[in-house]
Amino acid sequence: MCACASPSPESARRIAALAANLDWELTLELAAEHSVLGVVAARLKETGYSGMPAGTWQKFQDSLRTQHLFTLSMTAELFAILEEFGRAGIESLLVKGPLVSLLAYDNPGVRSYVDLDLLVRDEAILPASRILTALGFVADVPEEAILAGKIPGEYLFNRRGSQQIIELHTEKTFRYYPRPMRIEDLYARQRRMALEGREIPALCLEDELVLNCIHGAKHFWERLMWPADIAAIVARHPEIVWESVGQAARDVGAARMVNVGLLLAESLLGVPVPAAMAARTYEDGAAREMVRQVEGWLPSAGSAPPPLLQRAMFRLKMGGGGITGLSYLGRLSLSPTEEDWAGEGEGHGSRIWEVIKRPLRLFRKYRQDG
């Protein structure tokens, strides 16, 4: 899978050498678990699916057809939402999902994703939520919670009877940024990207790369999809201004997260750390240690998450270590999300009780997992 997900010129030779002895059913299963099915299929297509049994080939095609139909339906939803937001004067930016698929693979349908992620200003979240509700989506975060000033992990909307999910994010929901997101800077640097013949508002390339490193770190880089995205973006975009990447990462305290993303792209997928980032990245001993940890749990694709203490230490180092890392870990551990409001009355629960309840809930959850 690493060979198929790698944009390195050497990967074609490795794929040919490995294909003769593959367990194809297991390969299909792992590709789905790591959300790289489309990426793997695209590379295997270049080899003519050499050695793949007919039954496995058909399963690949069925899975890809489902993925492509889903992508088409989500693209249509995106256009409808952006049109309504535009009419209401709501500025939004597409992040992750189809945008990463375009940046990394030059095709919005190659990379797997399960929802559309849009960034809006916090002040616009109530009218944006009302628009999505009017379009037929059901809000996971009720209006009374928004009016009460509660901040979820994201504002999730789903269309009943379908798999279509929309997530709205604001500068306040991106809690995995070690320092507050500078949303006005992101809007100032935004660009327009072509998607299926239409232009969409998106983060600039450097900001999208930083955001995806933070997102991968949030999920402990537990699926190959996230390192593969970083590797493909770095390999396909020599125009990246690395000084801007470094500055954007430092502005939000995410320099180590970017270092880990670049090191994983190199160690797993053969994409060298860019020369402009090499000295700072290779000198980060904690980042190298975190890469070794990720390589240890990556094969399980999230099915065997690290135990609670290991997760906490990873978060601490991810936030920069020392007092800075402790502050980051403490904020993540004590900032309530919608899971901590449940049963409290969405708009009027006790903030103090929510803060107390959150670490207890996390302890129960990850003690069982670990």
Cβ contact 224:151 at 8 Å: no
Specify if 186 maps to a domain: yes
Q: Of 270, 304, 338, which marks where a domain is finished? A: 304
The per-residue pLDDT for 214 is: 98
Q: How far, in Å, CA of 236 to CA of 216, rounded? A: 19
The per-residue pLDDT for 355 is: 56
Do 300 and 346 share a domain, yes or no? no
pLDDT tens string 196-218: 999 999 999 999 999 999 999 99
The per-residue pLDDT for 367 is: 62
Do 7 and 57 share a domain, yes or no? yes
Specify if 312 maps to a domain: no
Do 225 and 364 share a domain, yes or no? no
Do 28 and 72 share a domain, yes or no? yes
Question: For the chain, what is the domain count?
Answer: 2
Specify if 23 maps to a domain: yes
The per-residue pLDDT for 343 is: 54
The per-residue pLDDT for 319 is: 94
pLDDT tens string 55-69: 989 998 999 999 999
User: Mean pLDDT of successive 10-residue segments in the chain (370 residues)?
Assistant: 85 79 88 93 84 88 92 96 98 96 93 95 98 96 92 93 93 95 98 95 98 97 97 97 98 98 97 97 97 96 86 94 92 76 54 58 59
Distance between terminal CA atoms of the chain?
27
Q: What's the per-residue H, E or C state across the chain?
A: CHHHHCCCCCHHHHHHHHHCCCCHHHHHHHHHHCCCHHHHHHHHHHCCCCCCCHHHHHHHHHHHHHHHHHHHHHHHHHHHHHHHHHHCCCCEEEECHHHHHHHHHCCCCCCCCCCEEEEECHHHHHHHHHHHHHCCCEECCCHHHHHCCCCCCCEEEECCCCCCEEEEECCCCCCCCCCCCCHHHHHHCCEEEEECCEEEEECCHHHHHHHHHHHHHHCCCCCCHHHHHHHHHHHHCCCCCHHHHHHHHHHCCCHHHHHHHHHHHHHHHCCCCCHHHHHHHHCCHHHHHHHHHHHHHHHHCCCCCCCHHHHHHHHHHHCCCHHHHHHHHHHHHHCCCHHHHCCCCCCCCCHHHHHHHHHHHHHHHHHHHC
Domain span holding position 360: 322-370
The per-residue pLDDT for 362 is: 62
Specify if 314 maps to a domain: no
